[in-house]
Structure 1
Amino acid sequence: MAPTAVNGTGNGTGREHEVLHRAPAPAGVAVPAPPLPADLQAARAALRLALPEPNSKFSQDDEWCVVAEPGGAWGEYRFHDYDRIFQVPGLYEKIFYDVLGCDSPRFMVGLLSEALAQAGVPASTLRVLDLGAGNGIMAEELAAVGVEHAVGVDILTEARDAALRDRPGLYADYQVADLTRLPVGQRETLAGHRLNALTVVAALGFGDIPPAAFRTAYDLVEPDGWVVLTIKDAFLEETDTSGFGGMIGESIRSGALEVVRRERFQHRLATDASPLLYEGIVARKRGALAG
């Protein structure tokens, strides 16, 4: 099957209009796009990639593209091969933001900003645990609205290395850790940050962050802290087998998670240009998670 090529500026045949279809910011909340380092912008612009034919349908866990390598050959990258993607400066942004129109970090920070304003809570008072932090895009958006203390956690060393390379200085700390079996020393280190907010954006489900890891991160957040998460709507349905549907759904029903804002929005486009819809939730931690 022939791929659809995308050039170095992020525009490709049949794709120019699709990349512009992004979820709007909440009314009355201005969330400016932070400037990127010049070298990252240059690397991102120079990359060339190609998608499968638009009429090819893949599950979200099996999506892929091919990328032009320095020697001229084309290498295949599965979208969930984050360890490989993060090693190429700008490739994550190229695939998910320039080509597929991902807008989840900006959208969710907009929801959070609105909720904080309604509660009279300055963003500067947040001490955020950014779970599934990747290469720091969420921290960049948080910093743009006044968050001064963010701690990244990711299971991949490549993610931490990419964050330090591409967005230095945004995290007060960045721990590479498996939260399903968090060592005592790392738990104490994270607890020492006195975390009062948790962000998990575009990271839950598909085996990337299992329910047990989410629970560990949630337990590190102080009572009445803020919880900001996105999750594919299918994971919250009654037929869900991932464990998130019961955990999050029951926690909301019991009041352990007090929902402040909840929006269904377009996370990004699939490779066939169909929308991938997620639930965006901003909540307060009022008790232990269900289950």
Structure 2
Amino acid sequence: MAPTAVNGTSTGTSGREHEVVRQAPAPGEASGRTPHHPVDLEAARQSIRLALPEPGSKFSQDDEFCVVAQPDGSWGEFRFHDYDRIFQVPGLYEKIFYDVLGCDSPRFMVGLLDDALASSGVAASSLRVLDLGAGNGIMAEELAAVGVEHSVGVDILTEARDAALRDRPGLYADYRVADLTKLPAEDREVLAAHQLDTLTVVAALGFGDIPPLAFRTAYDLIAPDGWVVLTIKDAFLEATDTSGFGGMIGESIRSGALEVVRRERFQHRLATDRSPLLYEGIVARKRGPLAG
């Protein structure tokens, strides 16, 4: 299971190079707007050398990893869910998930939301968004591209907030580092003061990153009849799911507490073995409390 190069640099452990799946446009290019992040983020992104496991190797999504060239010439391993370490390296998150593995979830889900808003006669500029699992701000950037003017980020990692402020300054009206399974009263008051009416949770549910209780806390902060935008791996919505999301979200949809207005199955990204990872994308209205 020796790694192979993805961008023209061999690790010396294999003679086969791993082609880059898709070179994503620089954030902001597709819409023609000026990117919010410092221009050196793109330079950092392009300079990173990384390698994936051999194409025949297969890992569970929770165990995927890559190796990244270090300044001293060695190669360091990064598990994909070690977000604290990844966010500390400018451009590494984008390099792994967007340039190499073709992640499309933020753009895709904002497109679904924008379509639903247009059908409902709601201006994107009127939304007040809680971006849960905000990471380094890619979702907020996509939201800003369609006219959203007020986004608040929440993440459990200080490294995520630091990366968002470093790479995409000015996108969030506020960014709170908080554990929503035990949200401090001060943070709850600050978030409530933003009068939030939209919740986005994209590429963040399941795998222990955001547990059901954290999702419920965020949901409860959203005004009645507000918007809920989420992605979740289809397996978490099956009857055999043990994460807690299948019952909570499934029952809420069936009861009408979550009124689905858009729902599509789509390719979130590629796995390291090049197989597609399929997610459910849901845009809904909050019509009542979550089930359970």
TM-score higher than 0.5 here? yes
Q: 2:5 matched to 1:2?
A: no
Q: 2:287 matched to 1:283?
A: no
Shift of 1:49: 0.2
User: Unaligned 5+ residue runs, structure 1?
Assistant: 22-30
Shift of 1:148: 0.2
Q: Retained in 2: the 8 A contact 1:8–1:45?
A: no
Query: Cα RMSD over matched residues?
Result: 1.6
Q: Retained in 2: the 8 A contact 1:211–1:244?
A: yes
The TM-score with structure 1 as length reference comes to: 0.93
What are the residue-to-residue correspondences of 1:63-82 with 2, within 5 Å?
63-82=64-83
State the match for 1:27 in structure 2: none
Looking at structure 2, the residues matched to 15 and 273 of structure 1 have their Cα atoms a distance apart, in angstroms, of 11
Q: 2:144 matched to 1:118?
A: no
> CA offsets per residue over residues 214-253 of structure 1, 9 Å max, x none?
0000000000000000000000000000000000000000
Runs of 4+ in 1 over 4 A off after TM superposition: none
Q: Retained in 2: the 8 A contact 1:8–1:47?
A: no
Shift of 1:19: 2.6
Q: Which amino acid aligns with 1:105?
A: P
Q: Retained in 1: the 8 A contact 2:8–2:17?
A: no
State the match for 1:215 in structure 2: 216
Q: Retained in 2: the 8 A contact 1:33–1:141?
A: no
The TM-score with structure 2 as length reference comes to: 0.93
Query: Relative to structure 1, is the Cα distance of residues 270 and 33 closer, same or farther in structure 2, using a 3 angstrom cutoff?
Result: farther
What are the residue-to-residue correspondences of 1:252-267 with 2, within 5 Å?
252-267=253-268
Shift of 1:20: 7.0
Q: How many residues align?
A: 279
What are the residue-to-residue correspondences of 1:111-190 with 2, within 5 Å?
111-190=112-191
Looking at structure 1, the residues matched to 244 and 260 of structure 2 have their Cα atoms a distance apart, in angstroms, of 19
State the match for 1:105 in structure 2: 106
User: Unaligned 5+ residue runs, structure 2?
Assistant: 10-15, 25-29
SS in 2 for 1:19: coil
Q: Retained in 2: the 8 A contact 1:8–1:46?
A: no
SS in 2 for 1:84: helix
Q: Retained in 2: the 8 A contact 1:255–1:286?
A: yes
Q: What's the % identity of the aligned pairs?
A: 83
State the match for 1:32 in structure 2: 31
Looking at structure 2, the residues matched to 33 and 89 of structure 1 have their Cα atoms a distance apart, in angstroms, of 23
